Structure 1
Amino acid sequence: MSEPIIVDKKPTLVKLQPGKYFWCSCGQSTNQPFCDGSHKGTNFQPLAFEITEEKQVALCLCKHTNNTPFCDGSHKSL
């Protein structure tokens, strides 16, 4: 698997509490948009990111954003 699986062509809006999170980069996780370890055996790795204050964010589900893990609208060109 060299290309990520496109989970959806729109982001998911989630309200996150302060803490460390792991965004799924492969698209195989059943816990989208977060990693569940399904990437094992592929060249993909989850992306660790930290939220310092409670806020709502748009996390990418198309896996083609240039602003990982956040949506940048790349899904519009897929």
Structure 2
Amino acid sequence: MATPEIGGTQPIITNVTQGETYWWCACGRSASQPFCDGSHSGTEFTPQSWQAPRTGKVAFCTCKRTANAPLCDGSHANIIQE
């Protein structure tokens, strides 16, 4: 299985609306982080749908290393940038 690219090193805090579906970028290539822009085309990655359980702010993962996709779990703190 391929490892996704790192789309960012900090989560992106986003206002979401209860019941709305959001398409999270799973490949790390999207220029519209944290959301999909179709850049996964030709890879084994597909965007992940996520429906907001309530209206408010959430922290979407951009490093693509979270165990709680699509939400940030702090995994970006373990990424060492060269």
TM-score scaled by structure 1? 0.91
Gaps of 5+ in 2: none
* Runs ≥4 residues deviating over 2 A: none
Equivalent position SS for 1:76: helix
Counterpart of 1:37 in structure 2 is 38
1:52 to partner: Cα distance: 3.3
SS in structure 1 at match of 2:67 = coil
Equivalenced residue count is 77
- CA RMSD of the aligned region, Å? 1.0
Distance across 2 between alignment mates of 1:9 and 1:49: 21
The aligned counterpart of 1:9 is 9
The equivalent residue for 2:63 is: 62
Q: Distance in 1 between matches of 2:53 and 2:73?
A: 21
Deviations 1:17-43 (A, max 9, x none): 230111000011111101111101101
Question: Which runs of 5 or more residues in structure 1 are unaligned?
Answer: none
Instruction: State the alpha-carbon separation in 2 of the partners of residues 3 and 57 from structure 1.
Output: 24
**Aligned-pair CA distance for 1:4:** 1.2
Instruction: Give the % identical residues.
Output: 44
Distance 2:36 2:72 in 1: 17
The normalised TM-score by structure 2 is 0.87
